[in-house]
Amino acid sequence: MATEIKSVTKAVIPAAGLGTRFLPATKATPKEMLPVVDRPAIQYVVEEAIRAGLNDVLMITGRNKRALEDHFDRVPVLEQQLAEQGKDALLASVVATNEMGGDLHYVRQGDPKGLGHAVLRAKRHVGDEAFAVLLGDDLIDEKEDLLSRMVEVQQRTGGSVVALMEVPREAISAYGAAAIETVAGEDFVKVTGLVEKPEPEQAPSNYAVIGRYVLSPKVFEVLENTAPGRGGEIQLTDALQTLAVGEGDGEGVYGV
């Protein structure tokens, strides 16, 4: 009997990094709170998840990240002041941040052992369901339905799905690179291998994995048995490589 595939409703947003690439701007401010036009970056990511129907959002945070929780919480004094001053548009924008239409949860990563370790910290919350992972380093245009498409592919295949973007060969060393095969009659590809930040001449392709994933819960078991890789950290790419070459239920990796 085929295993029933549960709908995807949970999103995990790793946000425990120190943001060293953005210093000194991130010395006292989490990189996720840096403004992009009129909103902090993290708000775009949460809004994207909720638009895709992922209304149960777990943030993996760390020390000095309290601002993330505060941003999505109510500030009654500020709301009252804006109301009394008749600043209705500003009031609406403030209220919207704590009425996102989803449930937000938080857990600390603890030891900074890499992206794979951060994802593993979500195991108790996610359970045995497929789930999405959204990284704040990549912001996706609101007009794109990338995440919804990825969820659809996961539901059809039962495996894990990564977002791929073609980049110049000389730039591939900044990304995880995917080896891919076409799937007859489908608008997605099968990922047959992944390499984290390869040298251009060693990369299997110039298709880069960007910061959106929809993962089978099988990934937790793999992460628990994944040794530290590049940089001494537990790499999500290494776990996905294991799933890509596996043949069991919940294994197999696909690309959108």
The DSSP symbol for 33 reads: G
User: What pTM value is reported for the model?
Assistant: 0.89
pLDDT band at residue 1 under the 50/70/90 scheme: very low
C-alpha 227/C-alpha 236 separation (Å) is 11
pLDDT, average across residues 206-230: 90
**129-164, pLDDT tens digit by residue?**
999 999 988 888 888 899 999 999 999 999 999 999
Task: Count other Cβ atoms within 10 Å, centred on residue 233.
Answer: 17
Provide the Cα torsion 32, 147, 55, 3; round to 10°.
Answer: -130
Lowest-pLDDT range of 99-108, 165-174, 218-227: 99-108
pLDDT, average across residues 165-184: 91
Mean pLDDT of the chain: 88
- According to the 3-state scheme, what is the secondary structure of 102-149? CEEEEEECCCCCCHHHHHHCCHHHHCCCCEEEECCCCCCCCCCCHHHH
**39-88, pLDDT tens digit by residue?**
899 999 999 999 999 999 999 998 888 888 889 888 899 999 999 999 99
**2-30, pLDDT tens digit by residue?**
455 678 999 999 998 777 777 787 778 88
User: Is 212 in a helix, a strand, or coil?
Assistant: strand
